[in-house]
Amino acid sequence: MKTTRTRRFVVALAAMTLAFSTVVVDHAEARRGGSFGSRGTRTYQSAPATNTAPAAAPVQRSMTSPTQANSAAAATSGARSGMFGAGFGGAMMRGLLIGGLFGMLMGHGFGGLAGMLGFLVQFALLALVAVFLVRMFRRRSNGGPAMAGRAPTPNGAGMGGGMTNARQMFEGFGSKAGGAQGAARGGSGSGPAVSGKPGTDAVGIGQADLDIFERKLQSLQASFSREDYAGLREITTPEVMSYLSEELAQNTARGVRNDVRDVSLLQGDVAESWREGTRDFATVAMRYSMIDTMRDRGSDRVVEGNETSPVESTEVWTFVRERGAEWKLSAIQEA
């Protein structure tokens, strides 16, 4: 009898869970927005905080798998491998450990292993000193930390100053401050090497780029409102275009269309920029206002939103371009 009651309870609980899950999925599918697209090797890394967007939602939908992003980042950043890392030092440490274990197996006993461990400790200390010296010399050879107060370049960005020292390039873009992150440029190298540390402006985003980003914001909203697929393709990567097309198709199935107008950028700043091989990436936080409504496709009646009261939205957009080509929107993250 007790078993029957328990079984009934489990079945009822499962049914309620399934029903609740269905409601949640339906709500999620009907909701507009979301975080989607690709940011190269940084797709699944959090975008650096800015005054405009202190936090950004992680990418939820992307054609770049976590494995691909992690593998590319490891390959291009010279990630350590194994317990003792890669390179000559790591190989030496592994060789010493294998040799000590082999000696113990050949009958030298614990004493032989203790002697080997003592040598390993000494070698580890020497290796740490060597790593410290190499890093110190490398910093000096790269010119050391970026210095503030240098003259701006023609595009408005400081030659090595942090984002705080390059406020000129944010004029007209609505930014109040860019944070205290120093610009750092990595070596260009060859192949798909990544240049630029997270949170820095390695590309050197200038005022001309910022003006382009603002125009892209307005053009995308206008094209989406007109359901202009050709216009959206000119602004976005094929991946982002596929997500926007899916959203437009969902609106059509619901019998509504999204009407967005009077888009005005209120505040914006650069979160980071970097290079991957021949491609430049730039992540920008933007807060903007707009009139955002949903209209019935047949009667043009407003069914969602207010056509007289503007609403504000804060998003983090990532743009990508092949060297010398136009910027394309490659990811949108909600903030």
Express each pLDDT in 126-149 by its tens digit. Answer: 666 566 655 555 544 444 333 233
pLDDT at position 118, please? 58
Which residues does 172 contact at the CB level (< 8 Å), separation at least 6? Answer: 207, 210, 211
pLDDT at position 135, please? 59
pLDDT digits (tens, 9 = 90+) for 143-190: 433 323 333 333 333 333 334 333 333 444 443 333 333 333 334 344
pLDDT at position 150, please? 30
Which one of 82-86, 120-124, 224-228 scores highest in mean pLDDT?
A: 224-228
Mean pLDDT within 207-236: 97
Which one of 76-90, 109-123, 136-150, 176-190 scores highest in mean pLDDT?
A: 109-123
Nearest Cα to Cα of residue 48 among 278, 308, 274, 279 = 274
Are the beta carbons of 292 and 305 closer than 8 angstroms? Answer: yes
pLDDT at position 323, please? 87
Bigger pLDDT: 281 vs 75? 281
Strand 256-276 relative to strand 194-195: parallel, antiparallel, unpaired? antiparallel
CA distance to 38, 112, 325, per residue, from 276 (Å): 13, 49, 15
CA distance 110 to 196: 48
DSSP symbols for 160-175: S--GGGGGGGGTTTT-
Tell me which H or E stretch contains 268.
Answer: strand 256-276
Nearest Cα to Cα of residue 164 among 145, 147, 177 = 177
What whole-number percentage of the chain has pLDDT above 90? 50
Q: 41-79+174-334 belongs to which CATH class?
A: alpha beta
Which one of 12-16, 115-119, 250-254 scores highest in mean pLDDT?
A: 250-254
pLDDT at position 317, please? 98
Nearest Cα to Cα of residue 154 among 134, 143, 168 = 168
Are the beta carbons of 30 and 251 closer than 8 angstroms? Answer: no
Average pLDDT along the chain: 72
Question: Does residue 291 register a pLDDT over 60?
Answer: yes
Question: Does residue 303 register a pLDDT over 50?
Answer: yes
Where do the domains of the chain lie?
41-79+174-334, 81-145
